[in-house]
A and B are shown apart, each in its own frame.
Chain A
Amino acid sequence: MSDQFEQMIQYIKRDVMRRPDVQLDEATPLVSSGLIDSLALVDILMKLEDVTRTRLPAGKIQPKDMDTVQLMFATAAKLGKPRK
């Protein structure tokens, strides 16, 4: 799991925020703290699907369910369906 956390954190820093120097960990609030915009959640959701090899029902996921990397993986574990 820690590898997956790290993969997501690196993706968010490098591709979403474009700030590899920023300090982030799995418990850092992202949307509620203004670090990322809710528009970026679609990219993060697609990346989360790739990392967890699942399909996620975006309609059932609220921005608050994706506010930290920890919450993202908890959401994927709860709602994700194995990818065909």
Chain B
Amino acid sequence: MSFGEFTRLADEQAQHLSLSGLRAGDSVVLVMPQGISLVAAFAGAMVLGAVPAILAYPNFKTDPVKYSQGLAGVLANLKSPLIVVDTSSTETLLLDHLPKTANTKVTRAAPLQRDEAPPLGTWRRSVPEQIAFIQHSAGTTGLQKGVALSHAAVLRQIDHLARALNITESDRIYSWLPLYHDMGLIACFVLPLVLHLHVVMQSPTSWVAQPATMMQLISDWRCSLTWVPNFALQFLARRVRIEDRAAFDLTSLRAVINCSEPVRAQSIDEFVNAYAASGLKPTVVKTSYAMAENVFAVTQSHVEGSPPRVHVDRQRLLQDGLAVGAEPESSGSTCLVSSGTLVAGQEIRVVDQNDMERQPGEVGEILVRSDCLFDGYYGRPDLSAQALRDGWYHTGDLGLQIDGELYVTGRSKDLIIVAGKNIYPHDIEHIVCQHPAIHDGRAIAFGVPNPNLGTEDIIVVAEVSREDDFLDDAKIQNALRDAIVAELDVAARAIYLKPPRWIVKSTAGKASRAATRQKLSGEHPELMAYDQSSSVGRHERPI
């Protein structure tokens, strides 16, 4: 599709949305599968001066009632008058299940009509500081935080990123990333749209079913840039047959940017080795540290060469928060991969719990300030005040700096990242505690590394209210799995049910995630073995 055709389609969607009652300044929620209609509707909303927000598309695992309730929460926060869907089945799902209190109209996107007619001329001149669109962060749908981003912030980020990556008009981007995620939306859709680069896009579901298609499309279309979460590198190395790899020509790729999950050296090495015979450059994998709250990238590794690595003593890193050099092959060493140096317009501080600066090589929380930082969470001044203090965004991520390179070592917030998707443990715990057999407030969820996939798995431990409930152990576990997947679209690897008063409580009387995790690992050595296989330090002790 040419840019002219896309402009035409966006214009048609704008006309359609206008006829559906959407006005400049209104927010509009898009519930559509990855495809041309979705990106045209997104652009069409902006053409009108409206503010689009893309949400995850329901799949066959989704519970329609829970999905609709969550969506109603987002709509209430955004005060959106309109939801745009793609098909009659999605429209029916929402009309049947969306609470009647949600005063929002559901409409289908305009049918695609590619013709040669000139644009219809509905374009409005944007005000730079006006909100361009809203990205949603982790959380159950109803509790997701909307990150509102201005046109000026988005354009500044794209300018910085284009310079950091030496992007030229000959670059071509490949992506399977979902558009409700910052990496998919900004790096793989908005950036090529603004810079007039070609993008080859497929849906996440078709990539997961056939990982080889990514390499085939890159090979066929001679793509030069792509972004992926860490797990994808290992997935591509292990789940594409060797005989299938022989057909790919990957010489066009100049950067595969590993972002949005902790970077693991082993995943990078496996990927590079697996595709060396396909012409993949040994230094092709780059790294970046990015977040929706900053539009996207804070750091980016250099476009030439591989990101630096340091080998440090694992125990000193975990216990003292210090990067102390260690022999690479020694059993007590762990390899940290740099996430790069600061992109233009960015500043970071690494601080301790009292907001005091940490020295180079010392672990602390990463704070970000930049010329493309968000102004706050849409409609949530309470959350905005917690996250943004004196102009600095408190990321909740832990890291350290050495020679100007940022090494991200873990998270102080107990976030779980499953295949690039951010999951809050308290969302899982809330779902689990709704089961009548589970004692209210006595559930803990946490992530453990899955070395086979290069990502994290979810572990849940919950107390039953009465010993008798153990008779229904399997039934309760199944019900909990059903509930988690229906609401969050992720599977828990293991659910442990424990007797009353098993979960460790803090002095404040709340379930303690760290202590409970330690107790569970003690009772289940298989979990412990899994936990220690991580090459990246965890973060349960104070720094």
Contact = CB atoms under 8 A, between A and B. Distances in A.
Interface of A: 17-19, 23, 31-39, 41-43, 45-46, 58-59, 61-64
B61 A32 contact: yes
A32 B61 CA distance: 5
A34 B494 contact: no
Contacts of B241: 46
Given A37-B490, A39-B419, A32 B209 contact: no
B423 interface: no
B275 interface: no
B492 interface: yes
Nearest to B478: A33
Contact of B213 (A23, A36, A59, A63): A59
Contacts of A37: 418-419, 490-491
14 contacts: A18-B493, A19-B494, A34-B486, A34-B492, A37-B490, A39-B231, A39-B453, A42-B235, A42-B239, A59-B209, A62-B60, A63-B59, A63-B61, A63-B205
Nearest to B213: A59
Contact of A31 (B61, B418, B419, B494): B61
Nearest to A63: B60
Contacts of B210: 42, 58-59
A18 B453 CA distance: 14
Q: What are the 8 tightest A-B residue pairs by CB atom distance, in nearest-first order?
A: A34-B485, A34-B481, A37-B491, A58-B210, A34-B491, A64-B60, A42-B239, A58-B209
A51 B481 CA distance: 28
B523 to A, nearest CB: 15
A15 B492 CA distance: 16
A39 B485 contact: no
B375 interface: no
Contacts of A61: 209
Contacts of A59: 206, 209-210, 213
Contacts of A34: 61, 481-482, 484-486, 490-492
